[in-house]
Amino acid sequence: NIIKELKKTKLLQLNKEQIKIKKQELLNMLNKKGENPLKVKKDIQQLMWENAGVVRNSYNMKKALVNLNKYEKTKLDVGISLKMNEKLIAALDVKNMLPICGMILKSALYRKESRGAHYRSDYKKTLLKWKKNILCIPLKNKIKISTRKISKIPKELTKFLNKNPPKTHHLE
């Protein structure tokens, strides 16, 4: 019964200091002059679409990283209110998008092959030596790229997949 399970669930205590820090970060974003965060968000989405989409190459991804770094320094104008503020929401999206986009670009540059739906026009082959996961490990002010072996599929999942084969084509 789901009600019994929910009652057993222990909730984590909120860290009041973290809440205070995050609240201050939000307040610090208000009433700043700068670029429209709605436009910046769309620009970053377009940058990623054009340079890190399904078909990729080293030149465009490196160019995208340079452009992405410029957005790190961009001041955003979010207005003066916390209530129903779409500019503030877009600014928070941008703040979260920047490191994620950087990790996507750096890990895609690291992988020197085409794999699955991610086609490198400068590395057209799929190579057995690249059959591994790429990890992005956050350090103080940078991201470390590393690899690890692909984990074996659990037996229960293998059994399930054998009994219920997908009706669509796998890319690899």
Judged against a pLDDT cut of 60, whether residue 125 lies above it is answered with yes
Res 171: pLDDT: 55
Query: What is the spatial distance between Cα 68 and Cα 45, in angstroms, rounded to a whole number?
Result: 11
pTM score, two decimals?
0.77
Question: Do the Cβ atoms of 131 and 120 come closer than 8 Å?
Answer: no
Q: pLDDT value at position 169?
A: 64
Q: Note the pLDDT tens digit of each residue in 16-74.
A: 999 999 888 888 888 788 999 999 999 999 999 999 999 999 999 999 999 999 998 89
Range with the lowest mean pLDDT among 2-16, 34-48, 81-95, 96-110?
2-16
Q: State the number of CA atoms in the 13 A half-sphere of 153 facing the CB.
A: 7
The sign one gets for the Cα dihedral 2, 3, 6, 7 is negative
pLDDT (tens digit, 9 = 90+) per residue, 59-72?
999 999 999 999 98
User: Of 153, 146, 155, 148, whose CA–CA distance to 170 is shortest?
Assistant: 153
CA 20, CA 62: separation in Å to the nearest integer?
A: 37
